[in-house]
Amino acid sequence: MTDDAAARGLVLVVEDEPAIADLVRLYLVRDGFGVHIERDGTAGLAAARRLRPVAAVLDISLPGLAGTEVCRRLREAGDWTPIIFLTARDDETDRIVGLELGADDYVTKPFSPRELVARVRAVLRRTAGPPDRTERPRAVGPVTLDPARRTVAVAGAPVQLTSTEFDLLAHLMARPGRVFTRDELLAGVWGYAAHAGTRTVDVHVAQVRAKLGAGAEVIRTYRGVGYACAD
């Protein structure tokens, strides 16, 4: 059943544990979101394609299709709806696989519903606001990033990034040569503190580099410190 989409937009929640799904719904609705719940991955994938939600919260372990498979199929189809994974296992492998498939964030069970809502708001803040038409495109080497249109190209060829990957690259390219620690990137891009795990940053940097191909070298690693954009 679909709730009326509220002012903040409709969030798809795919979670097979009714108590958790209802709790997530309660807190999202309180924060002004509409919510649609599905109990298995197959139905969740169909709902994502049909409803075009502003964001999706996916459990990794789902009947039918796993959450990671739902994410993979959406990304392969060119659907870049922000995705936040829920996982009952505090397993780094699960988290990394999810991020490598194109998820924007993850929350480990048991979790604070308020934190989950804050994560949803954070990822939407980076994509839902009106573009700043005064902000000019940035170019470093073969990589061009247009903040207003939220597009990236390498030697003129468009590159498709998730919302989080785009914001990470934009954050680095805004100050070429400035070395950011992983904690600074978590705070500046994801909007939360280091307890979330700095491995998240490393995985996203690796994904951005892989997608940039010939432009990968614009992101430089400073071992023991963090990352910077070439100047």
Nearest-angstrom CA–CA distance, 63 and 143: 41
The single residue listed with the structure tokens 């924060």 is 31
* First CA to last CA distance, the chain: 51
The pLDDT score that the predictor gives to residue 107 is 86
Omega cis (within 30) before 63: no
Amino acid letter, 103 = A
Would you say residue 4 has pLDDT above 50?
no
Confidence of residue 91 (pLDDT cuts 50, 70, 90): low
**Mean pLDDT over the full length of the chain:** 87
The single residue listed with the structure tokens 């997530």 is 24
Domains of the chain: 10-128 (3.40.50.2300), 138-229 (1.10.10.10)
The pLDDT score that the predictor gives to residue 135 is 73
Dump pLDDT digits (tens) for 8-65.
789 999 999 999 999 999 999 999 999 999 999 999 999 999 999 999 999 998 999 9
Dump pLDDT digits (tens) for 192-228.
654 456 678 898 999 999 999 999 999 999 998 999 9
User: Would you say 143 and 209 are in contact if contact means Cβ atoms under 8 Å apart?
Assistant: no
**pLDDT top residue among 210 and 133:** 210
Nearest-angstrom CA–CA distance, 123 and 98: 16
Average pLDDT over residues 161-174: 91
What whole-number percentage of the chain has pLDDT above 90?
59
**pLDDT top residue among 129 and 100:** 100
The phi and psi torsions of 152 (rounded to 5 degrees) equal -135, 140
The pLDDT score that the predictor gives to residue 193 is 53
Average pLDDT over residues 98-127: 85
